[in-house]
Structure 1
């Protein structure tokens, strides 16, 4: 799978003599016309692709389908194709490691427009995360505004906005 970008958080100035925790994740890209299925998170005021961490030894495609279904209630996931890899190095604020190396495997897929019931985790519900079909250009504009103006923005917004812009460029 093609590496789309390697991003270094501004607080990560060097990897020398740092302990690094690697986390493998997937991101799902489900598009219908100009609409894309995204997660809106109230806590961070942003739109993001459905996805999350892979369990130890979990197949990437199976993990992508699991995360997409859990977070959005997506039904009949099909026609899955690789889109690319987004790598990032960011501060790790838990004991044992200095830096997190996140590797996100991104896939396009088709799903039914109508969604079933999601099975979000407690912290996702607490953060006000909801799945919705959004115009891709509106989502990009919203995230860019959040990046410029909001004090709430999370560390993932740069990744999400980059992927949305790349997707819009390639598809439209």
Structure 2
């Protein structure tokens, strides 16, 4: 899979510190200029649906499971690799210093009707919900959050980069 970008958090000065890799799959689901995203009230941002790949799963199985759980999507088809995004972030627990986050992004199609999502308790507590939104509006919203919010999460830069690349390469 092609590498889209590698980023290192500004607080990391030594990549030889103890680290582990966390892998995630993320879905790109488009209908014209509308894209299926997750809005998270806590961070006031839009992100691609997806999340961690379990130890027993392939990237594709993780993608399908996460997309179903977070959005209620079903009949997920035409899955194609879009690219991977790598991040080196500070880790917040004592066992490691750095997490190497690798997000595998895939385009796919789904049925128009979304079923009820099966969000985890922390996702519900953060005010996460799936929504269809114009991709240009989502980018503008995230850029505003980056510029003006003190509650933004660490992933917003990744998500905004990916949204802009999706526009450049996939939105006609």
Q: TM-score, normalised by structure 2?
A: 0.98
Structure 1 moving runs of 4+ over 6 Å: none
1:98 counterpart = 2:97: yes
* Correspondence for 1:88: 87
For 1:131-142, list aligned pairs within 5 A.
131-142=130-141
1:107 counterpart = 2:106: yes
Provide the aligned length of Structure 1 versus Structure 2. Answer: 171
CA shift, 1:10, in A, is: 1.1
CA shift, 1:113, in A, is: 2.0
Can you give the 5+ residue segments of structure 2 that lack an aligned partner in the other structure? none
What are the superposed Cα offsets for residues 36-93 of structure 1, whole Å, 9 maximum, x if unpaired?
0000000000000001001113111011000000000001100000000000000100
* Correspondence for 2:160: 161
Q: TM-score, normalised by structure 1?
A: 0.98
Can you give the 5+ residue segments of structure 1 that lack an aligned partner in the other structure? none
CA shift, 1:14, in A, is: 1.9
